[in-house]
């Protein structure tokens, strides 16, 4: 019985270890082969209403919303923008700046739905390089920190997506009956 418990415990610990050490892979667009987060979200509203909600979200989400958006095409139901955020690494319990990631977001609107796309993630350096390079463990310049950077990109992007989904909900109508 004792060896059974030890064997079971060993299997559990090995499973936990292999799950925690599994390589993180962000979503890759099959056509562009770029790291891309894209989804069509069903929500109440016509394209114009959805466009107005998206502009309100952008105005509340970004410090300089006019600078962030490159395309604001209300007639065709499309917004395209570029923003950036920092990634970090930890050295001797101190967070250090590892660089700035620039990305593109596209919001498109149709009756009862919108589509978001977050893509073209670039590390701003002397030259800009796509973060897809971080997926190649065979690269002679491979750095084990790259996986942590990919996780930070994923976490940041998922936070933006969650915020967008909240911002795109129809406004609550107050019942003013008295």
DSSP string, 73-126: ETTTTEEEEEEEEEEEEEETTEEEEEEEEEEEEEEEEETTEEEEEEEEEEEESS
C-alpha 48/C-alpha 42 separation (Å) is 15
Q: What was the pLDDT predicted at 154?
A: 97
Q: What is the CA radius of gyration of the chain?
A: 21
Q: How many CB atoms lie within 10 A of CB 163?
A: 13
Q: Is the dihedral of CA 6, 11, 12, 18 positive or negative?
A: positive
Structural domains in the chain plus CATH codes: 26-167 (3.30.530.80)
pLDDT digits (tens, 9 = 90+) for 44-62: 999 999 999 999 999 999 9
Give burial (CB, 10 Å; 0-12/13-18/19+) of 154: middle
Query: Can you give the pTM of this predicted structure?
Result: 0.82
Q: Which token pair is 98?
A: 């590892």
pLDDT digits (tens, 9 = 90+) for 12-47: 434 444 444 467 889 999 999 999 999 999 999 999
How big is the CA angle at 47 (ends 45 and 52), to the nearest 5 degrees?
85
């Amino acid at each position: 019985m004792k060896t059974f418990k030890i064997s079971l415990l060993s299997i559990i610990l090995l499973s936990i270890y292999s799950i925690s050490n599994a390589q993180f892979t962000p979503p890759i667009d099959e056509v562009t082969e770029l790291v891309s987060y894209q989804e069509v979200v069903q929500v109440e509203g016509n394209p114009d209403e959805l466009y107005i909600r998206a502009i309100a979200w952008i105005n509340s989400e970004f410090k300089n919303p006019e600078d962030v958006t490159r395309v604001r095409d209300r007639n065709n139901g499309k917004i395209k923008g570029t923003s950036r955020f920092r990634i970090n690494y930890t050295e001797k319990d101190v967070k250090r700046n590892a660089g700035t990631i620039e990305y593109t977001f596209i919001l498109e609107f149709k009756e009862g739905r919108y589509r978001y796309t977050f893509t073209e993630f670039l590390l701003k350096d002397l030259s800009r390089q796509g973060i897809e390079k971080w997926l190649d463990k065979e690269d002679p310049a491979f750095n084990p920190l790259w996986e942590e950077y990919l996780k930070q990109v994923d976490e940041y992007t998922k936070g933006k997506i969650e915020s967008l989904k909240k911002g795109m909900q129809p406004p609550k109508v107050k019942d003013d009956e008295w």
